[in-house]
Structures are given as structure tokens and as C-alpha cells.
Chains A and B, each alone.
Chain A
Amino acid sequence: MSTYPLLSFAIWIPIFAGLAVLAVGSDRNAPLARMLALFGAVAGFLVTIPLWTGFDVANGGMQFVEMKTWIPRFNINYHLGVDGISMLFVILNAFITIIVIAAGWEVIKEKVAQYNAAFLIMSGLMNGIFTSLDGVLFYVFFEASLIPMYLIIGVWGGPNRVYAAFKFFLYTLFGSLLFLLALLYLFINSGGSFSILDWHKLPIELAPQIWLFLAFLIAFAVKVPMWPVHTWLPDAHVEAPTGGSIVLAAIALKLGAYGFLRFSLPIAPDASHELSGLVIALSLIAVVYIGFVALVQADMKKLVAYSSIAHMGFVTLGFFMFSALAIEGALVQMISHGFISGAMFFCIGVMYDRLHSRQIADYGGVVNTMPKFAALFMLFSMANAGLPATSGFVGEFMVILAAVKFNFWIAFAAATSLILGAAYSLWMYKRVVFGEIANSHVAELTDINKREFAILGVLAFCTLWMGLYPQPFTEVMHASVNELLNHVNISKIQ
């Protein structure tokens, strides 16, 4: 195991890089700001790689642990660690940060330093969320990460950005308040500990467990987002710049799902069993209802935003069937969704940069002028529809198979995504890419440049790698998922 504080590096390198970029300041130094940001993102990514290479797959507990006293009076610690559940998300986050910096390279021309800094700082804060083992530390990161995202939408967003940013903030803040109350309750009842790992072992009666579970549910359901608290997401996506959408879909949505695994299941296992029916029902509504809603969207970003909600439905469904196959399937789905939704939003961004429209009706016959782009977009659309050999298949396959064992009709409802996912993805693809050149704007499109090709190529590689050989991804999860299942299967009621 490494002697370096890798997790602190993963958090603070992007944040300090972001501050350095911010110091560059005005747009006269934009090239320097971009280079510095890219350097910071790459450095932030490189320090996370040893987390995977040095990971002990047999250990289901926390690794790379760091522990410093922070506020001794309340027993609050700077306590970091990753297990098989969180480790991959730290890497995914650092990886997506590079993609996002590259995605805004030529596109963002105003407040370049501030834009890049916001993403770097957010990246560091989100790594803080994935690695915090102290309740207060987690909460600070959890709330602080809202700010850069709020700014990204509010400053670099579309015409209706203020409404979208405010809706986003209001929704998530509402959840946060209940979450804070839950943390305080746990602090008091655990005899003054903010350690999340202590809370995992804390015996709690069923009634308070249910209250805690509901508080967590509201906080995390908004983030995931689950039906019916999902309506902020399409608005946020539509107004956000491309980079904002990529981070939002690829990482930010995972924070809520991660919260279920770190808080809800192990802290309130009895309530989780008790209320699993509710979560499963909401998840299936997300898959089916949102699938239909996605089908009729006229705005590409909205369509992909809704498809994100449907895909996240598989994640929450997988968590609450309490089997290794289902939970690992859900985790795989989360990582895969990071690649695919990131790529889908980038693809839409590529078209938006050229035509300044996200309306499906403004396109048609893009393949004639952008063949390279069309080929890659096809790959991601198919991945979005869960085609085998892409990462999009793996998680859905695992969750559906686990669901058949759990209850055939739950699997039946979930498997409709096979049809719905293909329908909305391919129908959009057909209308946008295939056909004769629809108008003079499409006729003037230029194919993707080297930078755009590199971004999509890297994401395509990840999508195919995870589809063809997912074993390295699940291998690291086994021990921690088993550990989690042990927690969930032991009653806390005494």
C-alpha cells in the first residue's frame, strides 16, 4: 500500500489547480488557463491510478485510509478511505474531469479561467464526497459541490439558466436539510461520533431507522434523481453548457446513488428491507414512465437527460434487491452511464457548437456531412440502448438477471427498457443523422476535429472495454459488496 496520502491528493490537487487557474484571471491569459487546467486535471487523474493498481481486492474494508483530527470538540475528523464501492468513482471522476476540460477547450471563450476552475474545484469536492468517512466532512463536500455546479449553469448556461439553476439548487437543498438532521441524530445517538463506519454498527430501533431512511431517501433521491423528484434534471441539462451536462450526468448523479450504499443500506438495514418495495416501485416507474417520456422529447438534451433518469432507475433497482449480482450490476451501470451519458452529451454539444440548436427537427442527414461523427454517435446511441459488447449492456444485464430471481414481474418491467431504450435512442439517431441533408445548415457542417475525435475515441474505448471485459471492474467490488450485504442482512433492532 502506498505511503502517500493519495486520497488527499485526489481531492486537493484539482482544487489547488483550480485556484491556480483562477489566479490566472482574465481572458487575455486564456491559453495559459486552459493549459494549466488540463495539467491539473491530468495530474489529478494520475494520482488516482495507484488506487486501482494498488487496490487489495481481497479486502472488503476501507483502504488508503487517512485520519487527522479536524474539530476535536465535536469529534469531527478528516477521515478518508475508499473501498471497492467508491474507488472506481474517484477514478471515473478524475477521468471525466480531463474530458470536460478538453470538451470546453475551444468552445468556452468567455471567463475561461473561471470556467475551468469551477470544474477542477468541483472535481476535487466530489472526490471528497466519495472518500469521506466522517459525516460532517461528507456533508461539507456534499453541499460545497453544489456551488460550482450552480455557477456553471448560472454563468455559462443557456437563456433560461437562472430558472434552471435555481430549481436545481432548491431541489437539492431541500434534501440536504433533512440529511443534516439525520446526521445530527446519528451523532447524538452514537454517543458523539461522526464516523460513518461507527454508524454502520450502531443499533437503532425500527421506527427511527425508518425516519432516518426517509431522510436519506429524500436527500439522495433528488440527486439520483428518482421519480418524482427528477424534474430539475432535464431543465438543468438543457441550460447547462456541454461540460456541465457531462459532469452532471457522469458524476453528480452518482453521488445520490453512492449515498444509498454508504448511508441508507448499512445504517438503516431493517428500514431498507421494510421500504425496499417503495424504492423498487419508484425505480420501475423511472424505467418505464421516463422511457416513454424520453421517447417524445423534441430536444436532444432533454431526451438524453430523461434517458439518464431511466438508466439510474436500474441503479436504485439493483441496490434494493440485496444480492451481489444486483448491487454489482447497479455499480457497473453507474460507471458505464458515466462513459455513455458523458459521450452522448458531448455528441450533442458537438452538434450544438456548429448549429446552435438542440432541436431534433433542426437536423437530418448529418451522416452526409459528418461521417466520422455519425459512426461514433452510432456507437454511443447503441450503448445507450444497452447493446451487448458495450458497457451499457453489462449493468442492465446483471440487474435484469438478478431481478428475475427476485421477482419475475419486476424483471419484466425492467426489461422493457430493452425496447424503450432502443426506441428513443434509435429514433433520435434516425431523425438526426440518417436521411437526406435536411437543410442548408446541415449541409455546411464540418466533421469532428482532432480534439473532438480524441475525446469521443477515448470514451468509445472505455465503453467497448467495459462491454467486452468487465471483469476488472467487478473484481474490485466483490469483497466490499459482500461486506455491505453482510451489514444489510443483520438486523440492527435489539
Chain B
Amino acid sequence: MDMQKLYLLVPLAPLFGAIIAGLFCRVIPRWVAHTVTIAGVATSFIASLIIFQDVQAGNTFNGTVYTWLTSGEYTFEVGFLIDSLTTTMMLVVTFVSLMVHIYTIGYMQEDPGYNRFFSYISLFTFSMLMLVMANNFMQLFFGWEAVGLVSYLLIGFWYTRPTAIFANMKAFLVNRVGDFGFLLGIGLILAYFGSLDYATVFAKAPELATATIDLFGEGSAVSLMTATCICLFIGAMGKSAQVPLHVWLPDSMEGPTPISALIHAATMVTAGIFMVARMSPLFELSTTALSFVIVIGAITALFMGFLGIIQNDIKRVVAYSTLSQLGYMTVALGASAYSVAIFHLMTHAFFKALLFLAAGSVIIGMHHDQDIRNMGGLRKYMPITWITSLIGSLALIGTPFLSGFYSKDSIIEAVKFSDIPGSGFAYFAVMAGVFVTAFYSFRMYFLVFHGEERFGKAEDAHHHEHHGDHDDEEASHDHHHGLAPGQKPHETPWVVTLPLVLLAIPSVVIGYLTMGPLVAGDYFKGVIHIDNVAHPALATFLSHFHGAAAMGLHAFSTPPFYLALAGVLLSWFFYMKRPDIPAAIQRRFSGLYTLLENKYYFDKINDFVFAGGARVLGKALWRGGDVAVIDGVIVNGSAKVVRWISSITRLFQTGYVYHYAFTMIIGVFVLMTLWINRA
């Protein structure tokens, strides 16, 4: 088969499924909707596998599909760039998407919006594929906003819930703040590189390495690369939820769990990471931008991890964990270890999708009670969910030989050898983060699967405090109702557990298998560009690398292993042995607890300053500017002036043409009005 047709097939197959399921969602039966979309995504996955083989054989592609627009000296095209980075993303996206599609059959079986949901997730798959396959910034931005749109639609999937429709608008707007920077970055690219085509831009980058622009007035001479890269990275901060644009991601958990796994853990939120890795030829030219990246990433990795510790909603624990892991990936980017960031992106996609889907399975078993304080001892009732969750958690905390270990340890090692400004702080953050990750992960694990069975006891499970500031007791129709007294949780059907098992496999082995070629080998040769002189961190780390097995064995003598172990043991001690201690700590350090509970007050500040401020400003401009000054003074004032002038001109009968024109128009309109009103 012609490879170029196959490239087209990859995004178009899910799009076809989405259109069928979407346009006819009210007329087709459910089995048609899920069959056509699953067939689309499966086709796309298989095609991606074939393309992967082809790229491995050395056949990369960079070409145009069609010319979108020409204007002035510029041409904007829709086209594909198929190389090892693209195929990696294509495989991750289509595989996780396929798993989520299958899982959805079970998760959404009682939902009236079943067909619509399948349409959305297939549309998402299409958009994400267009994003990763783009060969230019315009298409990248297309995909970028399109995944944002589908995320908006899916967070607000249950559109009658006030929290959901608040969360989806918030997600879209916060992402738009990021896109604002991203678009300006793209503008700088077009203005100074004269093209939006990746290959052209990257080829031209070295000669512009020292170019400056007078951003802040004459002679301010800001480095073009730094300005461009920071603008682009602001886009990544929105999409990949980096502090301070992270605020939308925890709220996005209002959406159904399958999309939390697909969009808000495995794929969409990693678009920013992918984008920066793709732009490595640009970022490598600005150490300042990389410093900015590494510091933002480090803050996100550590401080979002802390928030995971105090969450009681099972999905929110996983959400904060995702934020923290995205911070790790960003740190890797800042340390110029782009391949490591992509490596962690991939392993994370598997184990975090697994954790989310397992959380969803728990939620089904618990009849939509999401509060981990109402769980406990579920391992007896949900064995497959239990084992796969354990695997996911172990992978996440970096247990040697599991996938998360290879990617996370590589990040830590790369940062250790990095010497750009901010890397010292980042190294501390990612090390401390190991402990925090292990602690919150196993806190959740123990509370859900071990210990006392706390379900079916509380008279009314959903009267426990609700996350967020937006009360939705009445609106949340059949969600959050929980198990009735005496009722036991049950294992979920095979369509739910099969994806768990299929995701657990790569969560275990993918790191061991791919660490060598992906990070140490030349898999990304010619795709990711690293200036080894200026940023030698990854090269230094790799000079110590002697194969995946040796790395695994060596781990037992390194601090991260013991930090993770300490985190697990402490959570076991706190939540299995002495549950009184966390409660005591919470009382003792109530100030700190309040700070964490309020998520460092980001939401409150945003609500007050930006949302509130915009409304106040809008009202002031409207009432003060439009109504009072313009209408009140100028319009009414000139009406008076006109009356005055006309009273004078009337005296003179000047015979100016405009006077007659005026009279004629008025006359015609008066006659017409009279005549029409008479009819």
C-alpha cells in the first residue's frame, strides 16, 4: 500500500467514526456507534504500527497534503512529518485511545449520551493525531486548539452538572491564556523565519541564534530565540498544565473517567511536552528559555505532588499525580533531555491511563462513590482491578525494572548532570518528588484496596464534603450515590478489565525494552537536536549507562529507591497502622493543611483578580465609557449642536447640495413610513 495514503488513513479513520457516531447519534443503535469508532481507532493503530516499521526501516516523510492558504509571501499548508518522534506519539495515542474506547463500552453503558461520547473520543483521537503528525506550526495550532475543544466538550459531557460546565469553561479559558502566548510565539516564528514549516524553520535557526529584537523599545535587544521559546512554552504550560496555568486540570476530573485517562493523563496534556521536544532545535539555542522551563517544571513536579497527599477523591489524587509527573517531563525538557521527556511521556501514558481506568473501575464497583475514605479492602471484591492498580502504582513510584523507573530515574540523572541555572532547585524538587509520589500513591492504594471495609456504612455517602468550591449536591443526578448499607462492591465486566490488563503489560515491560534504543540509542537521531557542548547533561548521564538491566540493579544503591521505599512505608504506617497520626498532623499543622486544601489559593486568586476583575472592568468601561461619556456627553451633546446648527442654516436657505440631499432622504423616509404604516 502506498505509504502516503496510509498516513492519511491514520487521522481520517477516527474522524470517520466520529462523524458517523456524532451526526447520527440519535438514530443509530449503540452497537453501531461503538463498533464504527472502535474500528476506526483500531485501523488507525494498525496503520500506525505499519508506519512505525516503515520509519524504523529509514523511510521518513515530510510533505504537504493541501495548501490551506497563501497570502503575501507566505504559504500555509496542511502536511505531515513522519519520523520516529511522530510514530512514537502515534502509537501511544492510538493504543491508549483504543483501550479507552473498549473500556467505555463498560463504563458508559448506563449513560444516555453513549453515542455522543464515542463520537467525542474519536474526534479527540483525530485531533491529537493531526497535532502530532503536523509538519508546520499552523497545523500544530489547529490540532492544539481542536484537542482543547474536545476536552471542553468532554469535561462538560454531563452538561447539567454545574461543576462540570464550570470546569469545562475554566479549562478552555485557561488553555486560551496559554494559546495566547503560543500564537505570539508562532507569530515571531513567521516574522523572523519567514515560514511556519518545521524543516525550514529548524534549518534557519542556527543563523538566527544570536539575533535580537527590540521588544521593550529601542536598544532593549532581547534574544529572539529566548522570546520565541518562552512564548511557545507558555502554550505548553496551558496544555500541559504547568504552574500557574495548571488550575484547570484538577477540575477537569468532572468529565467521565475514560476521558480523564485518555485526554487528561495520557495524551492531550502531554502535547506541550511533545511540542517542546519537537522544537528542540529552537530551545537548544536559548539557555535562558531552558532555565525558565526547568524551574516551572520543578515547581509543578514538587508542589502539585504535595496536593495529591490531601485529596480524598480518587480521581483527584490521580489528577495531582498527573500534574506532578508532567512537571517531571518538563524538567527533563529543561535539562535538554528531550528524549527522556518523551520516554517518560510514553511510560506515563501507559501506567497513568492504567491508574485512571482502574480508578474508574473502582468507581463503577463503588456505584459512583469517589471518596477513598468510603472504600477499603476492595482487593477481595475486585481482584483484577487490585492487581493492575498495584502494578500501575509501582510503575509510577519508580520501582526498579518497571517502566516508570527507567523514565523517572533518567530524568533525575539528567538533571543531576545539568548545569543550567535552576537545575539545582530542579534536582532537589525531583528527588523530593520521588518520596511524595510514593507517599500519595500508596496512601490511595492502601485506603482503597486494604484495611477496614468502610463502604456501605455511612448513611449517606455523598454527604461528605465535596471537592471544589461549587456546590453541586442537587445537580449531580445519579453520580456520587455510593453503595447502599450492606451492599458489596463487585468486579467490573471484561470490557473494563481487559484494557486494564492490556495497559498493565507495557506498564511493566516497556521501560526495560525501550530504554536502550530510545534514550541511549539513536532512535531520535536527526529528530531531536541537542547541543552537547552547551547542555551536556544527557550525554554525561548516558556515559554512565550500561544497559537497562545494569541500571535496574544499580538502582538499589541509589537515593531515589530509598526515598520511594520510605514513602511507601510511611504511608503504610500512617494509613494501615496508625490512622490517628495523619489526623493529629492535620490538627497540629492546620495552617499548612488549609494552604494545601485551598490548593495554594490559586483558584481563589484567579476568581477574584481575573474573573472578578474582568467583570468589574467590563462594567466600568460599559457604564462609564459607553453609556456615560460617549452616549451621555458626546452623542446627546452633538444632537444639541446639530439642532443649533440647523436652526441657523434654516434662516439662510443656502442651497448647498448636501442640504437638498438631506431633505430628500428625510422626505423619502417620511413618505415611506407613512405609506407602510397605513398598509
Which A residues fall within an 8 A CB radius of B? Answer: 25-26, 111, 114, 143-144, 146-147, 150-151, 154-155, 167, 170-171, 173-174, 177, 180-181, 184, 228, 230-231, 289, 292-297, 323-325, 328-329, 365, 367-368, 371, 382, 387-389, 393-394, 397-398, 400-401, 403-405, 408, 411-412, 415-416, 418-419, 422-423, 426-427, 430, 433-436, 468-471, 474-475, 478
Assuming the A-B contacts A147-B669, A167-B635, are A418 and B191 also in contact, with contact meaning beta carbons closer than 8 angstroms in the complex? no
> CB < 8 Å: which of A177, A427, A468 contacts B169?
A427
Residues of chain B with a CB closer than 8 A to A111's CB? 676, 679
A174 with B638, Cβ < 8 A, contacts A401-B186, A423-B614 known: yes
State whether A170 touches B642 (Cβ < 8 A).
Answer: yes
Residue pair A418, B617 in contact (C-beta under 8 Å): no
**Cβ-closest chain A residue relative to B672:** A151
Report whether B184 and A408 are in contact in the complex, using a CB–CB cutoff of 8 Å: yes
In the bound assembly, the distance between CA atoms of A48 and B188 in angstroms comes to 40
Q: Which residues of the partner chain B approach A398 to less than 8 Å between Cβ atoms?
A: 69, 71
Q: Given A143-B661, A295-B615, A388-B141, answer yes or no on A471-B70 (Cβ-Cβ < 8 Å).
A: yes
| Residue B424, interface by CB 8 Å | no
Least CB distance from B228 to A in Å reads 10
Report whether B184 and A434 are in contact in the complex, using a CB–CB cutoff of 8 Å: no
Known: A367-B159, A398-B71, A405-B190. Is A180-B630 also a contact (CB below 8 A)?
Answer: no
Rounded to whole angstroms, the CA-CA distance of A174 and B642 in the bound complex is 9
A401-B190, A404-B188 as given contacts; A296 in contact with B658, CB under 8 Å: no
Which residues of chain B in 183-216 are interfacial with respect to chain A, using CB atoms and an 8 Å cutoff?
Answer: 183-184, 186-188, 190-191, 213, 215
Contacts of B662 in A (CB 8 A): 173, 177
Is B622 a contact of A296 with CB atoms below 8 Å?
yes
User: If the complex has contacts A146-B665, A228-B634, A231-B631, are A293 and B673 also in contact, measured as CB distance less than 8 A?
Assistant: no
Q: Given known contacts A174-B638, A416-B180, is B187 in contact with A150 (CB within 8 Å)? A: no
Minimal Cβ-Cβ distance residue in A for B72:
A324
Contact residue among A393, A418, A474 (Cβ-Cβ distance under 8 Å from B176) = A418
Stretch at the interface among B41-49, B142-150, B291-299: B142-150
Give residues of chain B (600-637) contacting chain A, Cβ–Cβ below 8 Å: 614-615, 617-619, 621-622, 625-626, 630-631, 634-635
Q: Does B556 contact A (CB under 8 A)?
A: no
Closest chain-B Cβ to A164's Cβ sits at a distance in Å of 12
The reply to whether the CB of B74 lies closer than 8 angstroms to some CB of chain A is yes
Least CB distance, B264 to chain A, in whole angstroms: 19
Q: Are B176 and A422 in contact (CB under 8 A)?
A: yes
Contact A471 B67 (CB under 8 A): yes
**Which positions in B face A, CB cutoff 8 Å?**
26, 66-74, 138, 141-142, 145-146, 149, 152, 156, 159-160, 162, 165-166, 169, 172-173, 176-177, 179-180, 183-184, 186-188, 190-191, 213, 215, 475, 614-615, 617-619, 621-622, 625-626, 630-631, 634-635, 638-639, 642, 657-658, 661-662, 665, 668-669, 672-673, 676-677, 679
Do residues A325 and B67 form an inter-chain contact, with CB atoms below 8 A?
no
- Chain A residues near B215: list those with CB within 8 A: 408
A-B contact pairs, 24 of them (CB 8 A): A154-B673, A173-B662, A174-B638, A180-B658, A180-B661, A228-B634, A231-B626, A231-B631, A292-B614, A295-B615, A325-B74, A368-B160, A388-B146, A398-B69, A401-B187, A405-B187, A405-B191, A408-B215, A415-B183, A415-B184, A430-B166, A434-B160, A435-B160, A471-B68
Contacting residues, chain A, for B169 (C-beta < 8 A) = 426-427, 430
Contact A296/B619 with A151-B672, A170-B639, A177-B658 known, Cβ cut-off 8 Å = yes
Q: Is the CB of A388 within 8 A of B657?
A: no
Q: Which residues does chain B contribute within 8 Å of A416, judged by CB atoms?
A: 180
State how many angstroms separate the Cβ of B460 from the closest Cβ of chain A. Answer: 21
Contact assessment for B156 and A434 in the assembled complex, using a CB-CB cutoff below 8 Å: yes
On whether the beta carbons of A389 and B146 are closer than 8 Å, the reply is yes
In Å, the complex CA distance between A400 and B622 comes to 26
Bound complex: CA of A404 vs CA of B194, how far in Å?
12
Q: How far is the CB of B249 from chain A (nearest CB, A)?
A: 18
A325: nearest residue on chain B (CB-CB)?
A: B72
B187 close to A411 (CB less than 8 A): yes
In the complex, the answer to whether B618 meets A292 with C-beta atoms within 8 Å is yes
Task: Please indicate the chain B residues that have their CB under 8 angstroms from the CB of A296 in the complex.
Answer: 615, 618-619, 622
Question: A219 to chain B: closest CB distance in Å?
Answer: 12
Give every chain B residue within 8 A of A470 (Cβ-Cβ): 68-69
Across the interface, do B679 and A323 meet the contact criterion of CB distance under 8 Å? no
Question: Which residues of chain B come closer than 8 Å to A433, judged between CB atoms?
Answer: 159
Assuming A26-B679, A471-B67, is B187 touching A403 (CB within 8 A)? yes
Identity of the chain B residue whose Cβ is nearest the Cβ of A482 in the assembled complex: B72
User: A400-B187, A470-B68 are contacts. A292–B621 as well, Cβ < 8 Å?
Assistant: yes
7 other A-B residue contacts (CB within 8 Å) besides A292-B614, A328-B71: A231-B626, A401-B190, A416-B180, A418-B179, A426-B172, A468-B68, A471-B67
- CB-CB under 8 A from B180, the residues of chain A are 415-416, 418-419
Q: Verify B615–A293 contact, CB threshold 8 A.
A: no
Q: Which residues of A contact B145 (CB under 8 A)?
A: 387-388, 393
Question: CB-nearest residue of chain A relative to B626?
Answer: A231
Pairs of residues from A and B, 4 with the lowest C-beta to C-beta distance, nearest first: A404-B187, A324-B72, A296-B618, A405-B191
Contact status A289-B159, CB under 8 Å: no
Distance between Cα atoms of A323 and B72 in the complex (Å): 8
CA distance A258 to B165 in the complex (A): 40
Question: Given the complex of chains A and B, what is the CA–CA distance between A416 and B630 in angstroms?
Answer: 24
A155 touches B676 (CB 8 A): yes
CB distance A394 to B176 under 8 Å?
A: no
- The residue of chain B having its C-beta at the shortest distance from the C-beta of A156 within the complex is B676
The residues of A that contact B475 with a CB separation of less than 8 Å are 436
Q: Is the CB of B165 within 8 A of A435?
A: yes
- From residue A165, how far is it (CB to closest CB) to chain B in Å? 10
Instruction: Tell me the minimal C-beta distance from A284 to chain B in angstroms.
Output: 14
B669, A150: Cβ atoms closer than 8 Å:
yes
Chain B residue numbers with a CB within 8 Å of A468 are 68
Interface centre among A167, A389, A397, A401 (most CB of B within 10 A): A401
Assuming the A-B contacts A147-B672, A151-B669, are A293 and B149 also in contact, with contact meaning beta carbons closer than 8 angstroms in the complex?
Answer: no
Known: A111-B676, A435-B165. A419 touches B177 (CB 8 A): yes
